């Protein structure tokens, strides 16, 4: 049985995540009280033919009992029971804009005299144990609703296997750093195709940009050292039991250098038998 526990910050996009999981064949339950999750989990385990793919959403709307959820999950981990935690994160300034635009009330606003900013900060502290326990992290700060749904489908569209997934992501620093990254590499020091007029409108997926980036001796030297580093680190992350490793490659705008190098690294990892997903956060911006 695949059992996914979805949690995270209010307004970060958990409802969209549930929609994407349902589209991927999961039986989803939204806003499940934390005290019921362990009981529901055991019911699903006894009825695996009926509940083979399950996702439940829980958060601080569950109130004080949310604190007990962490203890329950730690028990399941000790028992080596199969489940995964997906945490949905987002930056404070984006969450403030979302609450302002939707005019929705933050669940903790009353406790903080109506201050949404203080409510977000308090919620983040309450969710910190779940954040640390999470197997998967999605930061929706720079993602559109469509990109978020695609991200979830990439992660859970097929059966969740015990093999660690390596997600190689390109991004542009001008749109903010990649908060999901376990490993982040800044490639802004390499020659930039943006300043070559005939290359500016193209992307790192195209041969003209790829050839320009890879012809530089410094870039090729970096790629060789990058291969050595991931070859050394991947077995260590796998031994740790990590479900997903996110390697982020960033350039200025996320269209040229980072895309080329991310594609290069992803192809190399896949050729060595790793399960790899490549995505480009800012390439179309």
**pLDDT digit of tens for each residue in the chain (285 aa)?**
889 999 999 999 999 999 999 988 899 998 888 888 888 998 988 887 778 899 999 887 755 667 778 888 888 888 878 889 999 999 999 999 999 888 888 988 888 888 999 999 999 998 998 898 899 999 999 888 988 998 898 888 765 556 788 999 999 999 988 888 999 999 999 999 999 999 999 999 999 999 999 999 999 999 999 999 999 999 999 888 788 899 999 999 999 999 999 999 999 999 999 989 999 999 998
Q: Residues spanned by CATH 3.40.50.300 within the chain? A: 2-156
Does the domain formed by 2-156 have CATH 3.40.50.300?
yes
Contacts 24+ apart (CB under 8 A), 62-69: 62/31, 62/32, 62/33, 62/34, 62/35, 65/33, 65/34, 65/35, 66/34, 66/126, 67/126, 68/34, 68/35, 69/34, 69/35, 69/37, 69/130
pTM: predicted TM-score of the whole model, two decimal places: 0.72
């Amino acid at each position: 049985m695949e059992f996914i526990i979805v949690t995270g910050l209010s307004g970060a996009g958990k409802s969209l995540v549930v929609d994407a999981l349902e589209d991927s064949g999961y039986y989803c339950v939204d806003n499940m009280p934390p005290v019921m999750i362990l009981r529901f989990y055991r019911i699903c385990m006894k009825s695996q033919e009926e509940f083979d793919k399950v996702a439940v959403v829980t958060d601080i709307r569950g109130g004080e009992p949310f604190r007990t959820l962490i203890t329950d999950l730690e028990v399941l981990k000790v028992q080596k029971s199969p489940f995964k935690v997906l945490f949905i994160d987002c930056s404070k300034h984006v969450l403030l804009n979302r609450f302002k635009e939707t005019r929705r009330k933050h669940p903790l606003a009353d406790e903080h005299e109506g201050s949404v900013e203080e409510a977000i900060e308090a919620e983040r502290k309450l969710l910190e144990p779940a954040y640390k326990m999470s197997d998967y992290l999605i930061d929706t700060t720079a993602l559109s609703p469509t990109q978020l749904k695609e991200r979830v489908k990439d992660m859970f569209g097929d059966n969740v296997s015990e093999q660690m997934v390596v997600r190689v992501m390109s991004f542009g620093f001008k749109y903010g750093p990649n908060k999901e990254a376990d490993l982040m590499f800044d490639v802004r020091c390499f020659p930039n195709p943006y300043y070559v007029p005939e290359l500016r409108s193209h992307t790192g997926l195209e041969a003209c940009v790829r050839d320009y980036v890879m012809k530089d001796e410094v870039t090729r030297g970096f790629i060789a050292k990058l291969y050595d580093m991931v070859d050394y680190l991947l077995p260590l992350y796998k031994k740790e039991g990590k479900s997903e490793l996110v390697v982020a490659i960033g350039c200025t705008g996320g269209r040229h250098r980072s895309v080329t190098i991310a594609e290069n690294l992803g192809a190399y990892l896949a050729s060595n038998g790793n399960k790899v997903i490549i995505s480009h956060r800012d390439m179309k911006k």
